[in-house]
Amino acid sequence: MHLYTQGSYLPICCIMATSGHVKENAIFTCSICLEQLKSPRSLPCLHTFCFQCISEYILSAERHAGHEIAKYTCPVCRTIVTPKNPEQDTTQWIESLPHNFTISVLMETKKEPQTQECHICKRKQKCVSATKWCRDCTEAFCDNCCEMHGLMKLSMSHKVVDIMSIQTNEFGIDLSKISDACPVHSSKVVEAYCFDHQQLCCVLCVTLQHRKCEDVQAIEDITSRKTDKDSFEANLTKIQTATENLLQEQKDEKTIMNKSLSTIESTVIDSVNAAKGRLDSLLVVFLKELKIIDDKTQGDLDSKLNLVEKLLNRIKDFVRITTFIRSYGSKPQLFIHLEKSEKEFNSEIENAVALLRQVSGVEASFLIGNSLQSLMEMQNLGELHVTDNCSKSVTKYEGVLSDNMSLPAGKIFDSIQLIKRKLVQNSGHDLKGGMCISDQIMVLCSSGMLIVTDILTGKIKTEFVLTKGPKRIAYDTENQTLYISCYSNYFYSVKFDQSFGKQTQLKNIAPYNGGVCIHQHNLYMVVGGEITKINLNRGSGLQTAFPTNTDCRDLNGLTIDHKKDRLIHTTKDFAVVCTSFDGKKIYSYKDDEMKKVTSVTVNSLGLIFAGDETGIVHLISEYGKQRRTLLDKCEKITRLCDIWVKQIIINSIRKYRSLDLRYKTGCLKILKQLNLIVMNIFTP
């Protein structure tokens, strides 16, 4: 799952994101031209560039692609950025990128002190040096204008200070440099604020760029009443304290982890050395025993050898003498010789055999002990387990953010909406499900095949025929493998990079299969009335994780809530159930408005999108307490089969443990028979 990110945020976040080990002046440098920022504009990933530089970068990307593209990458972190309004012209979208006023102010404070002009005289087209600063009016005055300012009834109680006293203070901030000039039209003064775009505006800005905006208010009206901005500083202080505590706790976690790994290393080395020492000791004892046996058996074997050698020599002598007598003696002499020798020779043979029988035969053998055999067959020293759960410190920090940020979860839940992007029609294909496996490619399930489709154009790139019709798929990016849950009980894995490779059948027996997803090298799938899992690293078969209220005879959904590390699935009575990975039920949600839920997905904020077979899209809150209808029908869709969210996580947060408050938009894809609708998720 992936989510395209875009939206408004507080400019101060840029300073928080770039502080730390970065050199002080680095935040004032454009990463494209490597010069000091000019009219700084920020992307949603919080990286800031010159307006001219980021404009040329985006327009150059379009020229290189040969057409207007729907998404762009940050030149620094390569985060995918999409416009809030895809129909808007590129140049208009670039123009709407937020100004980073905090960077501008800090750049001003770092400049050498300059003479501050009197604002009143400046309006009279005069250039007079200011000597006073009114904190209430936030304006500079010369002596004459300050005297008039003090005589007026409305302003006589205002706090006025010498400019020289505030140009050099302990914070190094020159308040007189906080300019009220419009960042777009430098000759105009900021007089209004557009809440729709969260931008400061002059009269020209309001007239030219914000005339259609619904919520544009004068600065004077805003500052005359208490606003959310008044509590921002206090909230930011709390967040700063919580962030400092989190940083220290993360450092402590790192120290503990390093100590743990060091201890494991020492333990394993000591264990292996101890095992080697024990083996060496056992080898010495064994060799001693072998030497004793060798010494004992050698004497017996030597005696047998000597006896047999003497017998052999006697036989040779008898044969030699007999041959000589036969050749040169008489027949009576031969007869007498044979007669005497036979008795003598038989006696010697009997004595030799008797002696040989007294020395028993020797045979040596060795049976390897079970422990040594196991050691020889051992594939590894043991299993190393690293548990990467969301720590209590992060959970506590999320609570601080939720309490002090201006956009609480309840407000997000109430304001999130769907905006149609486009309709992709693939005639002749009965689409049942699918998912995005990269920024450019989505794989769709059709009758008897998988369809690889280009996300931007909707055109089919290739097709892959399966023996059985696919229902749900999951993609393992590490092994580049698709896992396909099919009808008729079949379950396949298919290698897929840019093209399809080897296909393997993993299951073909009852019961039926359902939704499938991957989390931390484990593949989870609904099979009959159970959630089953496979460890992808070990290649184990399907094993029961826990029983569920499912039957998988039709379409059902299964997904991972990466924010909370938990499973969410649909049941045969069309409830949405959230459980831990060991099956402990966290909550179950069902009401009369949810007719026949067939699919579920979760975005990075933990909000659950449930697709109803009747074409309705429901939104369920993070803890299953609320539900509301996001979409009451889908254009040209009579049966909604699958739904998923495409998410791109900044800084590759693989475990999704951080509360990401910058995600305002996304890309929701809804599958059905014959048609595919691509929609935006938008939070105003």
What is the full DSSP assignment across 350-391? HHHHHHHHHS----------HHHHHHHH---S-------PPP
Residue 253: per-residue pLDDT: 84
First to last CA, the chain: 23
Dihedral angle sign, alpha carbons of residues 264, 266, 270, 273: positive
Class of 12-105 per CATH? alpha beta
Residue 600: per-residue pLDDT: 93
Asked if 401 contacts 659 with a C-beta cutoff of 8 angstroms, the reply is yes
Residue 352: per-residue pLDDT: 76
Class of 409-682 per CATH? mainly beta
Residue 292: per-residue pLDDT: 86
Give the total residue count for the chain.
Answer: 684
Residue 411: per-residue pLDDT: 57
Residue 349: per-residue pLDDT: 79
Residue 230: per-residue pLDDT: 53
Residue 666: per-residue pLDDT: 41
Structure-token match 């074997």, residue found: 301
All residue ranges of the chain with pLDDT < 70 are 1-25, 86, 105, 107-115, 165-179, 225-233, 358-362, 386-412, 426-427, 646-684
Asked if 415 contacts 684 with a C-beta cutoff of 8 angstroms, the reply is yes
Structure tokens at 31: 């990463």
Residue 567: per-residue pLDDT: 94
Residue 530: per-residue pLDDT: 93
Residue 20: per-residue pLDDT: 39
The 3-class SS string of 617-636 reads: EEEECCCCCCEEEEECCCCC
Q: Taking the CA of residue 449 as centre, how many other CA atoms within 13 Å lie in the half-sphere pointing to its CB?
A: 11
Q: What's the angle, vertex CA 658, arms to CA 652 and CA 663, rounded to 5?
A: 80
Strand-pair category, 470-476 with 132-134? unpaired
> Is the omega angle on the peptide bond into residue 98 within 30 degrees of 0, that is, cis?
no
Edge-to-edge strand list for the sheet holding 665-682? 417-430, 665-682, 640-645
Q: How many CB atoms within 10 Å of residue 468?
A: 18
The alpha carbon of residue 99 and the mean position of all alpha carbons in its chain are separated, in whole angstroms, by 30
* pTM (two decimals): 0.45
Asked if 40 contacts 48 with a C-beta cutoff of 8 angstroms, the reply is yes
- The DSSP secondary structure of 92-149, one letter per residue, reads HHHHTSPB-HHHHHHHHHTSPP-PPBPHHHHHTT---B--EEETTTTEEE-HHHHHHH
Asked if 116 contacts 140 with a C-beta cutoff of 8 angstroms, the reply is yes
Closest CA to 605 of 654, 521, 666, 522: 666
Round to whole Å and give the CA distance between 608 and 526: 19
